[in-house]
Amino acid sequence: MSGKKHITMTVNGEAQEFLAEPRELLIHTLRERLNITGPHIGCETSHCGACTVTLDGKSVKSCTVFVAQADGADITTIEGLGNPDSLHVLQEAFKEHHGLQCGFCTPGMITRASKLLEENPSPTEEEVRFGMAGNICRCTGYQNIVKSILAAATEMNAAKEAAE
Amino acid sequence: MNKELTREERTDALGGMGCKRKRVEDARFTQGKGNYVDDIKLPGMLHGDFVRSPYAHAKVVSINTDAAMALDGVVAVLTAADLAPLGLHWMPTLAGDKQMVLADGKVLFQGQEVAYVVAKDRYIAADAVELVEVEYEELPVLTDPFAAMESDVVLREDLMGEGGALPDGAHGPRKHHNHIFTWEVGEKEATQQVLDEADVVAEEMVYYHRTHPCPLETCGCVASMDKVNGKLTLHGTFQAPHAIRTVVSLISGIEEHNIRVISPDIGGGFGNKVGAYPGYVCSVVASIVTGVPVKWVEDRMENLMTTAFARDYHMHGKISATKEGKITGLWCHTTADHGGFDACADPTKFPAGFMNICTGSYDIPTAYLAVDGVYTNKAPGGVSYRCSFRVTEAAYFIERMVEILAIELNMDAAELRRINFIKKDQFPYQSALGWEYDSGDYHTAWDKALKAVDYDGLRAEQAQRVEDFKAGKTRKLMGIGLTHFTEIVGAGPVKNCDILGLGMFDSCEIRIHPTGSAIARLGTISQGQGHATTFAQILATEIGLPADSITIEEGDTDTAPYGLGTYGSRSTPVAGAATAMAGRKIRAKAQMIAAYLLEVHDDDVEFDVDRFVVKGAPEKFKTMKEIAFAAYNQAIPGIEPGLEAVSYYDPPNMTYPFGAYVCVMDIDVDTGVTDIRRFYALDDCGTRINPMIIEGQVHGGLTEALAVALGQEIAYDDMGNVKTGTLMDFFLPTAWEVPNYETDHTVTPSPHHPIGAKGVGESPHVGGVPCFSNAVNDAFRAFGLRHTHMPHDHWRIWKTANELGLHG
Ligand code: FES
Ligand code: FES
C-alpha cells in the first residue's frame, strides 16, 4: 500500500506518535492502534455519532476523518472526560436520569453533550434536541438523554456560580 | 447496637421490586468501558470480510481468488467449494429451512455472501474483497411475492424433487415451487358464513412493509479455536448464546462441552441478533483453518442488506359486525415475503409466529387466519423487531381493521372498541384463534386513557379544524390515533414452544456467599434492558438480601445455566420467573436453617422482608445474612452445607400485556410534514419491577414505532437492488424528530406468573406502530380516506392529500 506517514497527536492529554497509512480512519486509530475503545462504530458514514470525539475544540465524527487530517490535533474522547474516582457531571447525570440503555451510543452522546454545553451553557430543551441531532440512539427515545443533559447544565451552572 | 429499623426501612434497604433502582450497568457504559464484540482483541487475531453479490438472482459461474490471495497480508479466501467437504456450505435456519453459508452455484439476494476473505487487518481484508473476481450470469428477479407465486422461475432448485415434483417443506405441503408453507388457524367455513350473513363487512389489504431492527451496534463475532485443547470460544452479538452453542455444535460436529459461547455487552438487539448468520460459520471455519482467532464485524450496509429484516406481510382482511357495531367475525389471509431462504425466528410449530393473536383486545366469536410463506429475491430474515413473534403485524392488522370498520359503520372508533373489548370477567379468555388470554382489564385502561387526553375535547377540536380547513383558514389537519393492543409474550410453554427442538424454558442459578452476598446467573442476555439491575431486584425481594449485594451474570455458556435467550419480551416472564422460583428454593432451605438456629420447628418461623421470625414472637429472628453464614459454618443435622439453588422454569402459559395509546398529530397538507403534538401511553405489564426502567423501555419502543410508522423501510427496486442500504436512506429518528411521551399505567398481575409480571420491552412498539399510523389515517378520515400504507413519510402523506384533492 501507499507510503506511511509520520503522525503526532495528543489524545486525552497524552502525546502519541506513530507511522500510519494516510487512509487510516481516525476511529480505527483510536480503537485499534491506541486501544481507546470508548468511541464506537455504528455506521461509518457520519450519520450516527457513535464515534464522536472532540478534535481541536470541535465535535467531529471520527469515522470520517483520515488520520492524516488529524495530524497534530488535540483529541478528547469519553475516556478523557472523567475517571472512576471523579465522573464528569454529564456521566453522573446520564446515570441518574436513565439516559442510556445498551450504552453503545453513550460515549459519543456524552462527548457531544460536553461540547454542546461549552458552546451553550444554558440551552433550552429545543436547543438540546437540535444540538444533539447528530447523535442517534436506538434505545432510549431521547427523552431521558435530553433530561440528563438539561440536569447536567443546571448543575454545572450552579457549581460555576458557587465558585464565583 | 444499631437502632432497630422499621419494616418499611428494612424493605427500602433491600432495593427490591417496585423501586426505581439506578442501573448498575451505567458506570462502565458512561465511561466508555463497555465491552462490546468489536472491543475484543485477541493475540494474533485476523479479520474476516465478505465478497457479496451485486445481483439479486444470478448463477455464480466462477470465482477467482488468485489476485486476492497474492495480496500481502491475506491469509485465506474461503468459498463454498472450501466449505463443501466439511458440509458447511449450507446451514440450517431457525425455521426448518436451510441457507447457503457461501454462494453454492447461485445467489438469491443482493448482498448474499459469496466468499470470505481472512487477512491481517480490516483494511487488507477490504482491499482483498475488491480483488476477488466473480463471474455471474443474471437470472430473472422476483421481488413481489404475488408474482413469485405465479412465476415459472424457480428460486430454490435445491428444494425440487425428481422430475419437477414438489416435496413437502418443514411446515407441510407446498403449492408452488416458490411457496414455503400454508399455516391455517380457526374456522374457515364458519367465518365465511358469518361474513356472508353480516350487516356490515369492511375489507382491506393492509401491507406491513419490510423494515429492519437496526441496532446501533451491528452483528459480529470473534471465533477462537484453541487447537491444543480442542476448545472453541465464540464471542458474539448473540441474543441467544446457548442456542448458538447448540447450533454451532450440530453443524460443526464439535462436541457441545468443547464450545464456549460468550455474549459480551450488546449494543442493542431488537431481534436482529437472534439468528445464526454466515459470518459466524465462516469465522469459526477460518479460525479452525488458521489456528488463530478471527474477528468479523459487519458494517452498516451489510447489516441493513443481509442480516434479519422484519415484517413484509401483505394482510388481506375482512371484519364483520352488526349495525350496532358488535364485531361478529374476522378473516385474514396473509402473504408473507420471506426472501430467498426461510430464516424466520419463530417457535417451530408457529411458522407465522403468534400472528393468531390478531383478534386483538376484542371478543370476536368466529375467526380464520391463513398465512402463505413465499420465496423472493430478497434477504432472508423475518425476525421479531422489538415484538414477540409477528405480534406487531397482528396488532397493526386488527387496529387498522377496527378503524376501517368504524368508518364503514360511521361510528366513533373509541366507542367501537369499547363495545367490543373482552370484559374483565371473561378472563381467562379463550380466543377464537386458539390462545388463552390470562388476564386483563381493558375497559378500565381505555377509560383512563381517554379521560387523560380529554378525548371528547380532542374530537371537538378536530371537527373545528376540519371546518377551518374547508373555510381556507388553515392548511393543517389534525389526526387522533387510537390503539388498544394485546401482546402475547413470554415464549413459552415447552409443550408448544420450541426452537430447533429446544424447549423455550429459561433458567436461573443462585449461589449465596457466606457473608450474605450472592451471584445469580441466567440463560438470558441483556442488550440494554438492564437485567443486572432488575433481576437483582426480584431476588432481593425473594431472598431478603440487598440488591446491591447481588451480582447478575449472563451470556457465558460455560457458567450460565441453559436458556433460550432474550427476545420476544421473554426475559421477565420466563427467566424472571425462574429467578423468583430459584429464590424461593433458597428461602425454603433458609427457613430450615433459621428454625434450627432458633430452636423451633420449621413451621414455626416465617419470612419477613430480610429475615425469618418466630411466629408470634418477632423479636426472635435470624436475618438472611446470619442464615447465609450459618449455611457455611454449622453442621446442621439433615441439611447439606451451602446455600445454592437452580430453577428451570417452564411457563404454564404466555403472558398478555396490554395498553391503551393515544397520539395527537398535526399534518401539514402541503408538505406532508407531521408534528406529534401529544403521545399518551398507558401500559399494563402486570407487576412492575422497576418503574424507571419500564418508562425507559416505553420511550424507546415508541421511538422505534415512530420510525417504522413514519418513514423506516427496506425498499427494493424491480431488479432487487436495496434502495435503503445506509442511514442516509434508512430512517432512524434523532432527538429533533421525537416528542416527549406521557406514560401511565394500570396493574393487572398475571395470575400464573410467580411475581405477576408480564414483560414490557416490546409493548410500546406493538402498540405504537398502529397508533402513529391511525393518527395519519384519521387526519384524512373526514375527506374520505379509508386506509393508506405505511411508512407515512412526508412524500407519501403529500401524495395522499393530493389524491384526495386537497391541493386545490
Ligand atoms: S460511526 Fe461515525 S457517525 Fe456513525
Ligand atoms: S443506549 Fe442503546 S443506542 Fe443509545
Interface contact B26-A129, CB threshold 8 A? no
Q: Which pLDDT score is estimated for B576?
A: 87
Asked if pLDDT for residue B376 goes beyond 90, the answer is yes
- Pick the last residue of a domain from A58, A80, A102: A80
Domain count, chain A: 2
**A26 phi and psi angles, rounded to 5 deg:** -55, -35
- Residue B275 grid coordinates: 439468528
A137 CB under 6 A from ligand 2? yes
Element (H, E) at B247: helix B241-252
Nearest to B119 by CA among B110, B131, B128: B128
Per-residue pLDDT, averaged over A142-161, amounts to 97
Interface contact B23-A39, CB threshold 8 A? no
- Pick the last residue of a domain from A80, A103, A124: A80
Measured between beta carbons, which residues in chain A are less than 8 angstroms from residue B218?
42
Identity of residue A67: V
A119 and A159 in a single domain? The answer is yes
Q: Which tens digit of pLDDT belongs to each residue from B187-233?
A: 999 999 999 999 999 999 999 999 999 999 999 999 999 999 999 99
A130 and A150 in a single domain? The answer is yes
Interface contact B736-A83, CB threshold 8 A? no
Closest ligand (CA of A45) = 1
B220 CB under 6 A from ligand 2? no
Chain A residue with CA closest to B71: the answer is A1
Read off the pLDDT band of A2 (50, 70, 90). low
Asked if pLDDT for residue B91 goes beyond 70, the answer is yes
Tell me how many residue pairs between chain A and chain B have CB atoms under 8 A apart.
Answer: 180
Per-residue pLDDT, averaged over B748-771, amounts to 93
Q: Please tell me the distance between residue B769's alpha carbon and the centre of ligand 2 in angstroms.
A: 20
Interface contact B217-A104, CB threshold 8 A? yes
| Range of lowest pLDDT (B58-67, B116-125, B560-569, B689-698) | B560-569
A105 CB under 6 A from ligand 1? no
Q: What is the CATH number of the domain that holds A99?
A: 1.10.150.120
- A4 contacts chain B (CB < 8 A): no
Q: Is the peptide bond before B492 cis (omega within 30 degrees of 0)?
A: yes
A46 CB under 6 A from ligand 1? yes
- The larger pLDDT score, comparing residue B241 to residue A107, is at A107
Per-residue pLDDT, averaged over B416-441, amounts to 97
Measured between beta carbons, which residues in chain A are less than 8 angstroms from residue B36?
40, 104
A68 and A116 in a single domain? The answer is no
Q: Which tens digit of pLDDT belongs to each residue from B222-278?
A: 999 999 999 999 999 998 899 899 989 988 889 999 999 999 999 999 989 888 899
Q: Which tens digit of pLDDT belongs to each residue from B582-597?
A: 999 999 999 999 999 9
Q: Which tens digit of pLDDT belongs to each residue from A108-132?
A: 999 999 999 999 999 999 999 999 9
Asked if pLDDT for residue B433 goes beyond 70, the answer is yes
- Pick the last residue of a domain from A22, A49, A80: A80
Q: pTM of this prediction?
A: 0.96
Asked if pLDDT for residue A1 goes beyond 60, the answer is no
A64 and A108 in a single domain? The answer is no
Interface contact A102-B215, CB threshold 8 A? yes
Q: Is the peptide bond before B573 cis (omega within 30 degrees of 0)?
A: no
A93 and A152 in a single domain? The answer is yes
Q: Which tens digit of pLDDT belongs to each residue from B289-343?
A: 999 999 999 999 999 999 999 999 999 999 999 999 999 999 999 999 999 999 9
Asked if pLDDT for residue B619 goes beyond 80, the answer is yes
**Distance from the A149 Cα atom to the nearest Cα atom in chain B, whole angstroms:** 12
A138 and A157 in a single domain? The answer is yes
Read off the pLDDT band of B386 (50, 70, 90). confident
A158 and A108 in a single domain? The answer is yes
Chain B residue with CA closest to A83: the answer is B31
Q: What atom in ligand 2 is closest to the CA of residue B216?
A: 3
A75 and A116 in a single domain? The answer is no
Q: What average pLDDT does the structure give for chain B?
A: 95
A83 burial level (CB within 10 Å; 0-12, 13-18, 19+): exposed
Q: Please tell me the distance between residue A43's alpha carbon and the centre of ligand 2 in angstroms.
A: 14
Residue identifier of the C-alpha nearest atom 3 of ligand 1: A46
Q: Please tell me the distance between residue A97's alpha carbon and the centre of ligand 2 in angstroms.
A: 14
Q: Which pLDDT score is estimated for B2?
A: 54
Domains and CATH numbers, chain B: 2-34+506-649 (3.30.365.10), 37-141+218-266+273-305 (3.90.1170.50), 309-491+654-803 (3.30.365.10)
**Distance from the B122 Cα atom to the nearest Cα atom in chain A, whole angstroms:** 10
Nearest to B59 by CA among B108, B1, B23, B111: B108
Asked if pLDDT for residue B1 goes beyond 50, the answer is no
Compute the distance between CA of residue B206 and CA of residue B202 in angstroms, rounded to an integer. Answer: 12
A60 CB under 6 A from ligand 1? no
A96 and A74 in a single domain? The answer is no
Q: What atom in ligand 2 is closest to the CA of residue A109?
A: 4
Three-state DSSP class for A102? coil
Annotated active-site residue B332? The verdict is: no
- The answer to whether the CB of B651 falls within 8 A of the CB of B752 is yes
Q: What is the CATH number of the domain that holds A28?
A: 3.10.20.30
Q: Which pLDDT score is estimated for B304?
A: 97
Residue identifier of the C-alpha nearest atom 4 of ligand 2: A137
Closest ligand (CA of A65) = 1
- The larger pLDDT score, comparing residue B137 to residue B650, is at B137
B759 φψ region: left (φ > 0), alpha (ψ -120 to 50), beta (else):
left
Q: Please tell me the distance between residue A41's alpha carbon and the centre of ligand 1 in angstroms.
A: 6
> Is the interface score ipTM higher than 0.95?
yes
A107 and A51 in a single domain? The answer is no
Compute the distance between CA of residue B151 and CA of residue B379 in angstroms, rounded to an integer. Answer: 19
Q: Which tens digit of pLDDT belongs to each residue from B466-512?
A: 999 999 999 999 999 999 999 998 887 888 888 777 888 888 999 99
Chain B residue with CA closest to A108: the answer is B32
Q: Please tell me the distance between residue A32's alpha carbon and the centre of ligand 2 in angstroms.
A: 22
A63 CB under 6 A from ligand 1? yes
Measured between beta carbons, which residues in chain A are less than 8 angstroms from residue B726?
43, 45, 47
Could you say which DSSP state residue B211 is in?
E
A116 and A145 in a single domain? The answer is yes
Identity of residue B23: R
**Distance from the B453 Cα atom to the nearest Cα atom in chain A, whole angstroms:** 20
B271 φψ region: left (φ > 0), alpha (ψ -120 to 50), beta (else):
left
Q: Which pLDDT score is estimated for B568?
A: 67
B71 burial level (CB within 10 Å; 0-12, 13-18, 19+): middle
Measured between beta carbons, which residues in chain A are less than 8 angstroms from residue B122?
28
Three-state DSSP class for B406? helix
Q: Which pLDDT score is estimated for B500?
A: 77
Q: Which pLDDT score is estimated for B652?
A: 87
Q: Which tens digit of pLDDT belongs to each residue from B136-157?
A: 999 999 999 999 999 999 999 9
Residues 13-52 of A with CB under 8 A from B: 21, 23-24, 28, 31-32, 35-45, 47-48, 50
Annotated active-site residue B430? The verdict is: no
Compute the distance between CA of residue B351 and CA of residue B110 in angstroms, rounded to an integer. Answer: 25
Number of H helices, E strands in chain B: 20, 33
Q: Which pLDDT score is estimated for B506?
A: 84
- List the catalytic residue out of B214, B387, B508, B685: B387
Interface contact A143-B740, CB threshold 8 A? yes
**Distance from the A4 Cα atom to the nearest Cα atom in chain B, whole angstroms:** 14
Interface contact B268-A138, CB threshold 8 A? yes
In a mutational test of the B interface, the residue from A36, A45, A139, A140 whose CB has the highest number of chain B CBs within 10 Å is A139
A70 and A107 in a single domain? The answer is no
CB atoms within 10 A of CB B8: 9
Compute the distance between CA of residue B755 and CA of residue B577 in angstroms, rounded to an integer. Answer: 7
Annotated active-site residue B387? The verdict is: yes
Q: Please tell me the distance between residue B114's alpha carbon and the centre of ligand 1 in angstroms.
A: 27
In a mutational test of the B interface, the residue from A101, A125, A132 whose CB has the highest number of chain B CBs within 10 Å is A101
- The answer to whether the CB of B482 falls within 8 A of the CB of B768 is no
Task: State which residues form the domain around A96.
Answer: 89-163
Interface contact A78-B32, CB threshold 8 A? yes
Per-residue pLDDT, averaged over B61-88, amounts to 97
Asked if pLDDT for residue A153 goes beyond 80, the answer is yes
- The answer to whether the CB of B465 falls within 8 A of the CB of B667 is no
Asked if pLDDT for residue B160 goes beyond 80, the answer is yes
Annotated active-site residue B192? The verdict is: no
Closest ligand (CA of A64) = 1
**B327 phi and psi angles, rounded to 5 deg:** -70, 135
Could you say which DSSP state residue B740 is in?
P
